[in-house]
A and B are shown apart, each in its own frame.
Chain A
Amino acid sequence: MPKITYVSHDGRAATVEVPVGENVMHGALYNGVEGIAGECGGAPSCATCHCYIDEAWAATVGGPANDVEKELLEAAACEVKPTSRLSCQITVTDDLDGLIVHLPETQF
């Protein structure tokens, strides 16, 4: 199962296994990793699962999946960077084994 590492804004890292086909937001919620709210559940209709893809992974993961994600990201509580994504829109694949995402200080 692919391993994903979530790094909190103050540098604490948690590595969990997330099944292929799941999304990166659920990977955090289902494993008790804090820092992602995901309050709309992946509709997507909020921007509370905002994360920054680690530079080393940015090219593999790619940018926003569609215009809706782009638009919603504008409403994110923390600074939006070129590596910003909504984690509910990133589907886990074998290619993402080892993925590192960084979490913002707050989602609200």
Chain B
Amino acid sequence: MATESSEMVFVQDPANPQCPNLPKRAGPDQIPDHVPPELILDAGLITGAEYLQEPHDYMAAMHEKFPPVFYNVSPFGNSWILTKHEDCLHVLRNAETFRNLEAAPFPRDPNDYFFFIPQEIDPPHHRKYRNIVDPLFCPAGVAKLEGKIRQRAGDLIDQFAAKGECEFTTAFGRPLPVSVFLDIMGLPQDMLPTFVEWADIMIHSQDPAEVGMAFGKAIAYLKGAIAEKKANPDEGVISLIANASIDGRPLSDKEVFGFVCFLWIGGLDTVYATLNNIWLWLARNPDRVQEIIDRPGDMHKIVEELLRRYSVTFSSRYVTHDIELRGVRMKAGDRVMTCLPAANFDPDVFPDPLKVDFDRPRKTILAFTVGVHSCMGGHLARLELRVALEEWLKRIPRFSVKPGTEIAYKPGGVVGPAAVPLVW
């Protein structure tokens, strides 16, 4: 067994991105020697049959079924998995030890590499990029969008309210966040179905060739959009980024592209999945719907609790030097995944974790991660969820899942049901 200490050295130049060429380990043949055999497991996340039955219940049960730190072996990549709230906070808050490199699983040309910005940028550079967009995405910034979001939500619901039924994910869950996002970015609304199709393949397809093709189309489109916004600046975020400077210099083409591309991916799938999960829960719990209707002054804590109960994604890091976590030795180059939904079900922090309890004592929830890389879209997501609930329940206060429906979950890095047929 190798015992010498190791360190991962990768000097990052955000303006001239180089592929970090980090170790890619996948499958049972690529398990490093320092991993104790008893911690080598396959958790069956993302694609496992049992997981796909009901992913959130499954992740809550991980606290009983698996050790709090274990080495997950999968054909999609081997990684330590953390389920304890405390451990996830530790990893996410220590950006020097746990670096956010090669964070997004989309294929990039190593000879024409770009970073997903700001996600893959380390402190202190990271803050400079966030400073460009944070004024728009901070609570005061997104509050300016509330009227527009409310109007879009109302218009969508009015299209199907009288029909007495809808397929929620396509009628509302998808078009609401994506149309809001297109407004923010300064992209045309008629691109909505095309973006949705590309994003759906990129995030949920298990076929790398198909993912590459969809990503290629998105790249070409976004490059065109950036060129257009450089020539004709407007109020949108693409224009803001395309024409931004840091440290007294304009952003390079690769910085602009990596930034826009990251926001584009981030904006298309996560709120969508969140809404789908939550509406399924609402449809199955009419008494809780009534409770929400009866507590209009408590919408903020209602939204926080629903985000805890239905977190939709995971966050991974690379270990940069040898460490011990909960008694487990990890080495430079190891990958660590914080299982955010599981951390939000940690019974030591959230007793009776699957119960939706709007009056829980306030604890840090991990829906948007924490630390420097915490989600910049978090405030927008909270606002969209609150407005969506208010506008929907105003018009459709009683609804249920269409009888005979079997709910199927999508495999992939964003957790949610594939379809949610509703009737009222």
Q: Which of A's residues lie within 8 Å of B, judged by CB?
A: 21, 23, 26, 29-30, 32, 37, 39-43, 45-46, 48, 68, 71-72, 75, 108
Contact = CB atoms under 8 A, between A and B. Distances in A.
12 contacts: A23-B140, A26-B134, A37-B93, A39-B93, A39-B371, A39-B374, A40-B374, A41-B134, A41-B376, A42-B138, A45-B304, A46-B364
B26 interface: no
B139 interface: yes
Query: Considering the complex of A and B, which 7 residue pairs feature the smallest CB-CB distances, nearest first?
Result: A39-B370, A39-B374, A42-B139, A71-B362, A30-B131, A46-B364, A108-B93
B310 to A, nearest CB: 16
B300 A68 contact: yes
Contacts of B300: 68
A29 B131 contact: yes
Interface in B294-352: 300, 304
Nearest to B361: A71
Contact of A41 (B124, B364, B378): B378
Contacts of A43: 139, 378-379, 382
A29 B138 CA distance: 12
Contacts of B304: 45
A41 B378 CA distance: 8
Interface in B372-388: 372, 374, 376, 378-379, 382
B127 interface: yes
Contacts of A23: 140
A41 B131 contact: no
A75 B363 contact: yes
A56 to B, nearest CB: 28
B378 A108 contact: no
A21 B378 CA distance: 21
A72 B363 CA distance: 8
Contacts, number: 57
Contacts of B358: none
Interface residues of B, number: 27
A46 B370 contact: yes
A41 B370 contact: no
Nearest to B90: A108
Contact of B139 (A37, A41, A72): A41
B378 A75 contact: no
B337 to A, nearest CB: 19
Nearest to A47: B364
A75 B374 CA distance: 18
Given A37-B371, A40-B378, 7 more contacts: A30-B134, A40-B368, A41-B134, A42-B139, A43-B379, A45-B362, A75-B364
A48 B361 CA distance: 17
A46 B6 CA distance: 34
Interface in B254-290: none
A39 B372 contact: yes
Interface in B123-143: 124, 127, 130-131, 134, 137-140
Contacts of B372: 37, 39
Contacts of B127: 29, 32
A19 B300 CA distance: 28
B393 interface: no
A37 to B, nearest CB: 8
Contacts of A41: 134, 137-139, 374, 376, 378-379
Contacts of A75: 362-364
Contacts of B52: none
Contacts of A71: 361-362
B89 A108 contact: yes
B365 interface: yes
Contacts of A39: 93, 370-372, 374
B364 A26 contact: no
B362 A26 contact: no
A29 B382 CA distance: 22
Q: Which has the most chain A C-beta neighbours within 10 Å: B361, B363, B364, B376?
A: B364
B368 A26 contact: no
Nearest to B369: A39
B191 to A, nearest CB: 28
Which residue of B134, B138, B376 has the most chain A CB atoms within 10 A of its CB atom? B138
A46 B366 CA distance: 11
Contacts of A72: 362
Interface in B95-149: 124, 127, 130-131, 134, 137-140
A81 to B, nearest CB: 20
B370 to A, nearest CB: 5
A73 to B, nearest CB: 10
Contacts of A48: 370
Nearest to B93: A108
